[in-house]
Amino acid sequence: LRGPDPHLTRSYLDRQEFARVLQSANMNITDRQMREVLAEADENEDDVIQYKEFLPVMVDILQSIK
């Protein structure tokens, strides 16, 4: 996932891709926490995490693990 770029065909992750991003970060979060993060990230409930939804959630997560 990258920011809006005219050369990319899409600038979003589906829920499964987003879950894999969280899992690959080895943050040791529970399935329940994963579902909560996914629900929070998908602000417009379209089942994809757009770049504008992804960035603030990931910043919050990274700040919380400092």
Residue 4 has a pLDDT of 54
- The average confidence (pLDDT) of the chain is 80
Give me the mean pLDDT over the 9-26 stretch: 82
Cα 62 to Cα 7, 17, 45: the distances in Å are 28, 18, 23
Among candidate residues 33, 37, 44, the one with its CA nearest the CA of residue 58? 37
Pull the structure tokens for residue 30. 């529970």
Residue 6 has a pLDDT of 58
Checking if the pLDDT of 57 tops 70, the result is yes
Q: Give residue limits of the domains in the chain.
A: 12-65
Q: What's this model's pTM, rounded to 2 decimal places?
A: 0.63
- Checking phi first, is residue 47 left (phi over 0); if not, alpha (psi -120 to 50) or beta? left
Residue 23 has a pLDDT of 83
Rounded to whole angstroms, how far apart are CA atoms 15 and 40? 12
